[in-house]
């Protein structure tokens, strides 16, 4: 075990390690047991993790019971509602923090406590890089919000309430009542947003115990899950089962299949690419599109369906969904249970057919995402096709262009804005380098003059991201982004743009010669940072189709394969 090299050494450093550790109350007997790190991302600036200290106590109970020694340690914690300009700026920093804490300490295995959107992918990226025995424990979703007999979901209804308030349909007082009703408990967003999507992915990858993703945060079964997780990490250490034994190419395909069937968050694509690349494997967008085409959408959850995570838990959770998808999965993949996917699913069953449909009777024949190609996004763009209004799935309209997020805020509600419901709203310079750090502002607001006329969806295009709780005809992750000279940077007011989701087509209908003329006049925007971590991010972040990781964090062989020039050295 790794800890033996710290605590069983006979030299000066062995003496120091034992002496300092015993001063905290550990005994000689303790120091001969597996040492289990508990990566606790509790923070009062992260609402989704506010209950993690209790979960950590239950994990410790399980570790002690299994014959290990738990030692809790912190890393940075990034809460989606609080961090500006965006948590995406800090996902890589959290991954680096977690990696170095795992590598630098005398731990034989680690329990990764995550939940909010970027925390689970950051931890999985670190686990892939360090490759010591690891298991993920997510914090669970909130209970459903309730107001007037109606179930509410964060943040899908956050968008809905503020939109109707902007349209003048609800008062300030009614908005305040909704604010108090929507978040009723500890936990992350209770729709199939990014947090729920990543919790489901951790389970589908085999890195979390089956059934855990959907258990509500305040449910006593999450305490039981935490204790079982503590026991299981000791077993993983004893059997030397490591993340790279589990997160194989086939396991990643399983995770993509579950995400497509769930109508999960578009953010999952960026995170799965980053995780896969940490494992030394390319994961092209075509893989996602191919799996989406063959995977039916069967999970009736908001924002693409009717129900929320609480009902998903009651219907059987991720194991029930995977049981329905079993013919489409790689059943031989190893998981943190020490058993295969097929073995884990023997007892799984769907308990509510309106929440989890069968493959034979899906909500839609294809999965949640479509990867769009064309001259406007030669390296790809994404759309959550399950959340698009039917009349906009094939659409041609004239561009109304905003040069930056600041320009958008300044002009979107201008009564003089030349826009109608057929227009295509285009936001530039909101990508990894441009915004900075690709914030979740791709759900471009409907102009107020159209809202009051009852318009609730339009085609919108950006190089930004969207929350997994978003809905509408939102084309995001356009690559290359505008800030590095992607075609998006060249779009002008009045240009015709064609969207055809079925054909996977996104085309700027401007002649090549005119685009070349515009490109010759284009100038890159100034970086937002001139020092510190922000400058490092700007200099080394990869584009969305390459996972927005830092180039220098990729394995050397993959870095040489993916990148050209001095960055590959």
pLDDT digits (tens, 9 = 90+) for 206-264: 999 999 999 999 999 999 999 999 999 999 999 999 999 999 999 999 999 999 999 99
Which residue, of 328, 345, 362, is where some domain finishes? Answer: 345
**Mean pLDDT, the chain, integer:** 96
DSSP secondary structure letters along 484-521: GT-GGGG--TT-EEEEETTTTEEEE-S-HHHHHHHHHH
Here the CATH number for the domain that contains residue 409 is: 3.50.30.80
Same domain, 175 and 238: no
What 533-539 contacts at long range (C-beta under 8 Å, 24+ apart), as own/partner pairs, is: 533/93, 534/89, 534/436, 537/89, 537/92, 537/436, 537/437, 538/433, 538/436
What's the confidence (pLDDT) of residue 461? 98
Same domain, 116 and 13: no
What's the confidence (pLDDT) of residue 383? 96
Which residues, listed in sequence order, are joined to residue 73 by a DSSP beta bridge? 39
In a domain, 360, yes or no: no
Alpha helices in 263-316 (DSSP H): 267-278, 285-294, 309-315
Same domain, 386 and 500: yes
In a domain, 431, yes or no: yes
* Regions of the chain with pLDDT less than 70: 564-569
Token duo for residue 540: 């080394």
Same domain, 20 and 89: no
What's the confidence (pLDDT) of residue 468? 86
Q: What's the domain count of the chain?
A: 5
CA distance 408 to 401: 9
Grouping H, G, I as helix, E, B as strand and the rest as coil, residue 174 is helix
Are 429 and 435 spatial neighbours (Cβ–Cβ below 8 Å)?
Answer: yes
CB-count burial class (<10 Å; 0-12, 13-18, 19+) for 556: exposed
Q: What is the pTM of this model?
A: 0.96
Order of strands across the sheet that contains 505-508: 369-372, 381-384, 474-476, 459-462, 424-427, 394-402, 496-500, 505-508
Same domain, 150 and 139: no
CA distance 188 to 262: 17
What's the confidence (pLDDT) of residue 450? 97
Range of the domain at 168: 145-182
Same domain, 312 and 385: no
Write the secondary structure of 205-269 as one string of H (helix), E (strand) and C (coil): HCCCCCCCCCCCCCCHHHHHHHHHHHHHHHHHHHHCCCHHHHCCHHHHHHHHHHHHHHCCCCHHH
Same domain, 277 and 413: no
Token duo for residue 227: 């204790």
In a domain, 85, yes or no: yes
Which residue, of 160, 182, 204, is where some domain finishes? Answer: 182
Q: How many CA atoms lie within 13 A of 409 on its CB side?
A: 5
Alpha helices in 66-193 (DSSP H): 88-104, 119-130, 156-166, 172-182
In a domain, 339, yes or no: yes
What's the confidence (pLDDT) of residue 144? 97
Same domain, 128 and 151: no
Length of the chain: 569
In a domain, 514, yes or no: yes
CA distance 484 to 567: 16
In a domain, 350, yes or no: no
What's the confidence (pLDDT) of residue 469? 82
Nearest to 541 by CA among 527, 551, 529: 551
What's the confidence (pLDDT) of residue 563? 85
Are 222 and 57 spatial neighbours (Cβ–Cβ below 8 Å)?
Answer: no
Are 441 and 159 spatial neighbours (Cβ–Cβ below 8 Å)?
Answer: no
In a domain, 557, yes or no: yes
In a domain, 353, yes or no: no
Same domain, 132 and 26: no
Same domain, 252 and 327: yes
Which residue, of 133, 167, 182, is where some domain finishes? Answer: 182
Same domain, 432 and 317: no
Task: Give the DSSP letter of residue 356.
Answer: B
Same domain, 113 and 233: yes
Q: Which residue has the tokens 């030394």?
A: 280
CA distance 220 to 229: 14
């Amino acid at each position: 075990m790794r800890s033996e090299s710290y605590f069983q050494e006979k030299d000066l450093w062995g003496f120091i390690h034992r002496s300092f550790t015993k001063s905290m109350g550990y005994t000689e007997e303790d120091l001969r047991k597996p040492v289990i790190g508990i990566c606790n991302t509790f923070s009062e600036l992260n609402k989704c993790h506010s209950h993690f200290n209790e979960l950590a106590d239950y994990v410790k109970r399980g570790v002690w019971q299994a014959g290990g020694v738990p030692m809790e340690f912190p890393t940075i914690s990034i809460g989606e509602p609080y961090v500006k300009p965006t948590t995406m700026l800090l996902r890589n920093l959290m991954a680096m923090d977690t990696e170095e804490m795992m590598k630098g300490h005398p731990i034989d295995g680690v329990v990764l406590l995550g939940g909010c959107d970027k925390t689970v992918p950051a931890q999985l990226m670190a686990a892939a890089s360090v490759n010591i025995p690891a298991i993920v424990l997510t914090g669970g979703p909130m209970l459903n919000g309730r107001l007037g007999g109606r179930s509410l979901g964060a943040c899908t209804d956050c968008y809905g309430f503020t939109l109707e308030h902007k349209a003048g349909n609800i008062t300030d007082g009614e908005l305040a009542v909704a604010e108090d009703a929507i978040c009723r408990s500890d936990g992350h967003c209770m729709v199939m947003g990014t947090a729920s999507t990543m919790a489901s992915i951790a389970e589908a990858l085999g890195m979390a115990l089956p059934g855990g993703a959907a258990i509500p945060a305040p449910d006593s079964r999450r305490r039981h899950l935490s204790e079982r997780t503590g026991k299981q990490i000791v077993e993983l250490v004893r059997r030397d089962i490591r993340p790279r034994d589990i997160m194989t190419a086939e396991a990643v395909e399983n995770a993509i299949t579950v995400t497509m069937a769930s109508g999960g968050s578009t953010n999952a694509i960026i995170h799965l690419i980053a995780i896969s690349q940490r494992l030394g494997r390319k994961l092209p967008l075509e893989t996602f599109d191919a799996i989406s085409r063959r995977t039916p959408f069967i999970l009736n959850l908001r924002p693409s369906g009717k129900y929320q995570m609480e009902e998903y838990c009651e219907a059987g959770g991720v194991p029930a969904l995977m049981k329905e998808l079993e013919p489409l999965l790689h059943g031989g993949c190893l998981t943190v249970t020490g058993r295969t996917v097929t073995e884990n699913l023997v007892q799984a069953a769907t308990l509510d057919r309106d929440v989890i449909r069968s493959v034979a009777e899906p909500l839609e024949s294809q999965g949640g995402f479509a990867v769009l190609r064309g001259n406007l996004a030669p390296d790809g763009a994404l759309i959550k096709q399950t959340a698009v209004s039917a009349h906009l799935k094939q659409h041609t309209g004239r561009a109304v262009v905003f040069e930056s997020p600041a320009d958008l805020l300044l002009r979107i509600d201008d009564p003089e804005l030349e826009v109608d419901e057929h227009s295509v709203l285009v936001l530039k310079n909101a990508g990894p380098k441009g915004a900075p750090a690709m914030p979740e502002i791709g759900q471009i607001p409907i102009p107020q003059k159209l809202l009051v006329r009852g318009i609730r969806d339009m085609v919108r295009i950006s190089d930004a991201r969207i929350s997994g709780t978003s809905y509408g005809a939102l084309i995001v992750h356009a690559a290359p982004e505008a800030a590095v000279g992607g075609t998006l940077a060249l779009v002008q007011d009045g240009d015709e743009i064609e969207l055809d989701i079925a054909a996977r087509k996104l085309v700027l209908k401007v002649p090549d010669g005119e685009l070349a003329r515009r490109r010759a006049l284009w100038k890159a925007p100034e970086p937002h940072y001139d020092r510190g971590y922000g400058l490092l991010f700007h200099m080394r972040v990869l584009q969305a189709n390459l996972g927005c990781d830092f180039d220098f964090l990729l394995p050397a062989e993959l870095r040489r394969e993916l990148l050209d020039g001095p960055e590959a050295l």
